[in-house]
């Protein structure tokens, strides 16, 4: 099943997408039996919004792909104001001298959890979505923890296009492209900690609520191509779809 937040008659509504047809979601997407309501026609004809509500938090990881001398990856909270939807755009910051895109797999929480064990985590997952955690890596400003600072700009978190419930998070192919040229292909099976272990790790310190998102971190090779003003960035994950975003001059 795929859930999407879309615009219909000027309103934001949740829908179920099936065979590129959008249906009004009847009931609760976090409930045991969400149902299709009225058909809204082709999903491709609707404007899709990033699949989070304003009350949701966005947890992101540092170093999810390499273990090293650590018990788990670093975590930080990305602001809601940094989020944009598929087809959106962001400004190239005046202070930036080097920007990269970060194609990432994200997991969406389906039920409140705290200190949950990896073996029980599946019961707490709603599904999965795509993230482009765009980051200023070099700038004209000197600050502590510059990479965290560089992730906070408005629009620097493209999310979507849907929440897919039926993919295997241990075997998802993630692709990154700039201006239509694919430069990165990697499988989530190479994550240092799988999605279930990541939720266990994060929930040790953060209570996760329905709709919250954990992005699993930038894969190796994300920094092969620097992003320049005017570039179009694309993240694709098999079984979920693609998100495009443009960085403006």
At 116-136, the pLDDT tens digits run: 999 999 999 999 999 999 999
Q: Residue 196 to residues 109, 166, 219: CA-CA distances in angstroms?
A: 11, 15, 18
Indicate the number of domains in the chain: 2
Asked if pLDDT for residue 67 goes beyond 80, the answer is no
> Which residues form the domain of 8?
1-49
Break the chain down into helix, strand, coil percent, rounded to 5.
15, 45, 40
Pair 124, 40 in one domain: no
Question: Binning pLDDT at 50, 70 and 90, where does residue 66 land?
Answer: confident
Q: What angle do CA 219, 220, 223 make, to 5 degrees?
A: 100
Pair 9, 71 in one domain: no
Pair 71, 103 in one domain: yes
Q: Mean pLDDT score of the chain, rounded to an integer?
A: 95
Pair 231, 138 in one domain: yes
Q: What's the confidence (pLDDT) of residue 147?
A: 79
Joined together, the tokens standing for residue 50 give 């990033």
**pLDDT per position as a tens digit, 157-197:** 999 999 999 999 999 999 999 999 999 999 999 999 999 99
Q: What's the confidence (pLDDT) of residue 84?
A: 98
Q: What's the confidence (pLDDT) of residue 144?
A: 83
Pair 189, 220 in one domain: yes
Pair 64, 127 in one domain: yes
Asked if pLDDT for residue 5 goes beyond 80, the answer is yes
CATH number at residue 217: 3.90.850.10
Percent residues over pLDDT 90 in the chain: 88
CATH number at residue 32: 2.30.30
pTM beyond 0.85, yes or no: yes
């Amino acid at each position: 099943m795929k859930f999407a937040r879309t615009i219909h008659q000027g309103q934001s509504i949740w829908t179920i997408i099936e065979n590129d047809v959008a249906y009004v979601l009847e009931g609760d997407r976090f409930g045991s039996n969400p149902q299709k309501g009225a058909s809204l026609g082709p999903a491709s004809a609707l404007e899709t919004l990033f699949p989070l509500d304003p009350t949701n938090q966005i947890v992101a990881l540092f170093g999810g792909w390499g273990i090293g001398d650590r018990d788990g990856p670093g975590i930080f909270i990305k602001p809601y104001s940094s989020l944009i939807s598929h087809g959106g755009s962001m400004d190239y910051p005046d202070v930036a001298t080097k920007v990269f895109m970060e194609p990432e797999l994200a997991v969406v929480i389906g039920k409140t959890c705290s200190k949950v064990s990896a073996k029980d985590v599946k019961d707490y997952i709603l599904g999965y979505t795509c993230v482009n955690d765009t980051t200023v890596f070099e700038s004209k400003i000197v600050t502590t923890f510059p990479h965290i600072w560089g992730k906070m700009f408005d629009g620097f978190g493209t999310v979507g296009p849907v929440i897919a419930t039926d993919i295997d998070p241990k075997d998802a192919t993630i692709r990154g492209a700039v201006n239509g040229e694919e430069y990165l292909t990697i499988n989530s099976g190479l994550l240092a900690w799988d999605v279930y272990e990541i939720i266990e790790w994060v929930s040790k310190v953060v209570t996760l609520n329905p709709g919250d998102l954990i992005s699993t971190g930038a894969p190796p090779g994300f920094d092969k191509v620097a992003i320049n003003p005017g570039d179009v960035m694309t993240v694709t994950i098999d079984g979920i779809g693609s998100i495009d975003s443009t960085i403006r001059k």
